[in-house]
Amino acid sequence: MVTRPQQRVAAAALAALVLAACRTTPEAGAAAAGSLGDLDEALRPLGAGERGCVVVGAKVFVLDQADTILAPGMVVVRDGRIAAVGPVRPTPEGFERLEFLSAWITPGLIDLHSHVQTGGWGDINDMVLPINAEFRVAPTVRPGNPEVARACAAGVTTLFGIPGSGTSMSGFGVLYKTKVDSTYEAAVFADPGGLKVAQDSNPQRGAGDFGASRAALAWILRDANDRARAALEQGRFELALENLERVHTKELPVLIHTAGSEGVANTARMWRRTYDTRSVLSHGCFDGWKARAFVAQTGIPVNNGPRTFDYGPSREGRMIGFTDEYVEAGAQLISLNTDAPVMPQEELALQGAMAARFGLSDYLALRALTIHPARAFGIDGRLGSLEAGKDADIAVFDGNPLDPRTRAELVLIDGQIEYDRLRDGQRF
């Protein structure tokens, strides 16, 4: 049994904000009973070859539809998956008990806009062509590289590793876990995981070819999409468009780098109204928030970051928190990103803290780091909440994860301890 003494009491004001935002009621508990699993069944004796552990903390944030919070609570893990979540019970023989008396337990954090799969900036752009629907980052992935290891030590367990923004249709990325000592096959769970598009700004070409303006970028994007749709309709195989066709059948999602009010509006219009894809608008910063009402009308999820607020002078005469502006306008499935290494991957929780500092509720900020990105990308069947049957990706913090003073004490991925602060030390 591992028991950690209380090292620091979480700031009372922050705790009050979270608990005020969401309290578990008997009705909510009943509604969530199925998602929480059966504790009696989960705690039955382990069979031959089975492995199991119980993680106990002062608060367990399930992040399910009923917004269940258990205080205190426990998560039961069997063979890499969550078997049940519920009130604290004795641990049967054979289970490892990981007990943290003052900890806040959450699902592992998820970042949909990350470039650290290579360990740096290398090999994430192919600058020969402005459209790279055939480009893939899979050969560049280095599981467990130092940047991934630091992310894991911050409770970040899932990343969408993507190409850069040097070209307009940048290529296809992979969804992978931040396992520290892993093979490609054990870390990557979706290859391809989705398409990365850069709608404006960065990919405007300087080499003299077509695509030197936003209008031209829009044309070449439409041209590629129309060719993919035509191939689908005609039953014609085109190798370079094969994965792009899967975007148009909604088998794969698309993440679109876009910023500024014009770019944000163009992105929402193209990828939701013209083509009706499983799309996510990423960045949405600078004055992009001013198109928030139109963005909300289209229903496109917003993945805000790395800039989450406007710190320059504005005619509003105040600091503008972008994330909260989108939410107030009615945008759904708001999530946050680091664009790592633009911001260090281990500072994903800090993005949530800053969004909360500038207006977003603490609890919604926590959802923006967990279940919202999972739902936006269609991976919520296995990630994003501590519900029975999902992958046992669990982060144990010594206080509110939105408090910058908080540290991750323990991180499990697929039920295995990938980071233990007492064992591995502070990585950043």
- Residue 216 and residue 69 share a domain: no
In-domain check, residue 128: yes
Are the CB atoms for 53 and 60 separated by under 8 Å? Answer: no
> Is residue 398 helix, strand or coil?
coil
**What are 90-106's pLDDT values in tens digits?**
999 999 999 999 999 99
pLDDT in tens, 116-142: 999 988 878 888 888 889 999 999 999
9 pLDDT higher than 50:
no
* Among the listed residues 70, 88, 83, 81, the one whose alpha carbon sits nearest the alpha carbon of residue 29: 70
pLDDT of residue 1: 53
Domain assignment of residue 381, yes or no: no
Q: State which residues form the domain around 401.
A: 2-107+387-424
Average pLDDT over residues 156-164: 97
Q: Which amino acid is at 100?
A: F
What would the mean pLDDT of 148-175 be, rounded to a whole number? 96
Q: Which CATH number belongs to the domain containing residue 27 in this structure?
A: 2.30.40.10
Q: Using the predicted structure, report yes or no on whether residue 341 has a pLDDT greater than 80.
A: yes
Same structural domain, 150 and 163: yes
Domain membership flag for residue 349? yes
If pLDDT is split at 50, 70 and 90, which confidence band does 251 have? very high
86 and 138 both lie in a single domain: no
Whether 286 is covered by a domain: the verdict is yes
**261 shares a domain with 188:** yes
CA dihedral over 269, 365, 373, 283, signed as positive or negative? positive
Do 418 and 300 lie in one domain? The reply is no
pLDDT (tens digit, 9 = 90+) per residue, 365-405?
999 999 999 999 999 999 999 999 999 999 999 999 999 99
pLDDT attached to residue 130: 87
Same domain, yes or no: 214 and 304: yes
* Residue listed under structure tokens 């206080």: 399
Judgement on whether residues 157 and 233 belong to the same structural domain of the protein = yes
Do 254 and 116 belong to one domain?
A: yes
Q: For residues 192 and 170, what is the distance between their CA atoms, to the nearest angstrom?
A: 13
pLDDT at 207: 63
φ/ψ bin of 339: left (φ > 0), alpha (ψ from -120 to 50), beta (otherwise): left
- Does residue 219 lie within any of the structural domains? yes
pLDDT exceeds cutoff 50 at 5? no
User: What is the pLDDT, as a whole number, of residue 17?
Assistant: 43
Q: What is the pTM of this model?
A: 0.93
Residue 118 lies in a domain: yes
Residue at 354 is within a domain: yes
**110: part of which helix (H) or strand (E)?**
strand 109-114
Note the helical H segments in 235-321. 242-248, 260-268, 292-298
Query: Confidence class of residue 3 from pLDDT cuts 50, 70 and 90?
Result: low
Question: pLDDT by residue (tens digit) across 215-233?
Answer: 888 999 999 999 999 999 9
Average pLDDT, the chain: 91
Domain count, the chain: 2
Q: Which domain-ending residue is among 354, 376, 398?
A: 376
The per-residue pLDDT for 121 is 80
Specify whether 181 is located in the same domain as 161: yes
pLDDT category of residue 30 using cuts at 50, 70 and 90: very low
- The whole-number average pLDDT for the span 397-426 is 97
Q: How confident is the model at residue 310 (pLDDT cuts 50, 70, 90)?
A: confident
In this prediction, residue 213 carries a pLDDT of 84
Strand residue runs (E) in 108-223: 109-114, 156-161, 169-177, 188-198
- Among 319, 324, 268, smallest CA distance to 291 is for 268
pLDDT of residue 313: 64
Instruction: Give the per-residue pLDDT at 39.
Output: 97
pLDDT on residue 160:
98
Distance CA 244, CA 131 (A): 11
pLDDT of 26 > 50? The answer is no
CATH (domain of 113): 3.20.20.140
Q: How confident is the model at residue 211 (pLDDT cuts 50, 70, 90)?
A: confident
Looking at the structure, tell me whether residues 117 and 141 fall in a common domain.
yes
Domain-embedded: residue 41 = yes
Say if residue 10 is in the same domain as residue 116: no
Do 96 and 122 share a structural domain? Answer: no
